[in-house]
Amino acid sequence: MNAITPAALLEPAPVSLRSSEGLGWDGFAATLLSVRPGTYRVPAMAHHRISVHVGPPVRANCVCDGRRTSRIQAHGDADVIPAGVPGMWTDDADCRFLRIALSDTFVRSIGEQVGVRADITPRLHWRDARVHHLAAALGAELEAEDTSNALYAESLCTALVVRLLSSSRDVAGGMAHSAGTLAPRVATRVIDYIEAHLHARLTLTELAAQAGLSVPHFNALFRATLGVPAHRYVVQRRVERAKALLLEGHRSASQIALEVGFAHQSHLTQWMQRLLGVTPREVIRAGKASAAAADTPAA
pLDDT of 30 reads: 94
CA distance linking residue 113 with residue 264, whole number of Å: 34
Cβ-contact 275, 236 below 8 angstroms: yes
Domain boundaries 6-166, corresponding CATH code: 2.60.120.10
Cβ-contact 279, 267 below 8 angstroms: no
**Count of residues in the chain:** 299
Q: Are strands 48-54 and 78-81 parallel, antiparallel or unpaired?
A: antiparallel
pLDDT of 296 reads: 63
Cβ-contact 40, 14 below 8 angstroms: yes
CA distance linking residue 266 with residue 280, whole number of Å: 10
pLDDT of 174 reads: 34
CA distance linking residue 31 with residue 19, whole number of Å: 4
pLDDT of 79 reads: 92
Q: What is the pTM of this model?
A: 0.71
pLDDT of 168 reads: 55
**pLDDT beneath 50: ranges in the chain:** 1, 6-12, 170-179
Distance from CA of residue 88 to its chain's centroid?
Answer: 28
Sheet containing 78-81: order of strands: 15-19, 28-35, 95-102, 48-54, 78-81, 123-126
**Beta-strand runs (E) in the chain:** 15-19, 28-35, 38-42, 48-54, 58-64, 67-73, 78-81, 87-91, 95-102, 123-126
CATH fourth-level superfamily of 233-295 = Homeodomain-like (1.10.10.60)
Task: Label residues 39-62 b or e (16+ Cβ within 10 Å = b).
Answer: ebebeebebbbbbbbbeeebebeb
Q: Which amino acid is at 238?
A: R
How many other CB atoms are there within 10 angstroms of residue 267's CB atom? 20
Distance from CA of residue 217 to its chain's centroid?
Answer: 17
Q: Where are the domains of the chain?
A: 6-166, 177-227, 233-295
Residues 119-171 have pLDDT tens digits of: 888 888 888 888 988 999 998 888 775 656 788 899 999 999 998 887 755 43
